[in-house]
Structure 1
Amino acid sequence: MRPVLAALPLLLLAGTAGAQQATRTPAPPLLACPPSIEVQSRDEIRPPNGWELRPEPQRHWLRGADLYEGDPADRVQLRPDGDQRTRREWWDLGGNRQPYRLVCRYEGLEAGIMATVPAAARRCEVSSFRENSRGMRHGRIVSGPEQVVVACR
């Protein structure tokens, strides 16, 4: 009976270490797309006499990203691996001749924002999550706000 009791603290200790490893959070990203950006309208509106233009900033939400080897103007866009079930796409990094460039894409915008991926990054990943709700965004019906996260670690 005594050997079983002596082993019990070791089992509890091993279980605690396993639980700590399972709940360990991933390393903070080296680079991440901002979840939204604000755009000040630059439309060339000429209001009629007696009226004035009242521009308002518009918030645009992150919808995805593209990864390029080198300058995107050279059109060396990399194709991600993906898993439709988990709504994830990723690029495993390494072996490149030129720096990687991440272009973050936002809802309702043709242009995106770009940053150079740090050389220490080993993977860039796009994950999306959708809530079960309906609403309007930019005049379109959307089923739940889709939250997209783009991070390079």
Structure 2
Amino acid sequence: MKVIKLEEPELEFGTNSHIDIRFGIMNYCPLDFESDNAAKTIRVGIVGSASSIEGIRDWLEKCRCDIPAKNSRQSNLFPRFPGFNPDLAFHSELITDSSLERQLSSSKIDSVVKIPVLDNLRIEAVRSIVEEVNFLLEKKPPDV
């Protein structure tokens, strides 16, 4: 057997190239960040229980700011996150608002989790979520 090692190619970013997507975006921006077609705002649709919607909104809010690197002897494995905001890295903003959210009622969730056959439970859970996603898509389509 003959082993050939292929060098990993560098990825192209807005102002330079890098082998690692995390460092490339953090330091050199997305490839199209100066383009008129680049997404400057991304509307985020959320479907879930009241607490999961609140949790996702809180998490996305934290992601707007710098998140320090994890303490590790392998610093490249857990780098800092520069924040998702218009001024850094991604040069875009995540938009959340109540018109982009669909809450699954607690009674609906309770009825789904009581389904005894696991495959049927999964099918009904997905059906319930897809129904709410379709409502969002018809009313005010999010980007994500």
Same fold (TM over 0.5): no
Given the two structures, how large is their TM-score scaled by the length of structure 2?
A: 0.21
TM-score by length of 1: 0.21
Larger radius of gyration: 1
Higher strand share: 1
Q: As a proportion of its length, which structure holds more helix?
A: 2
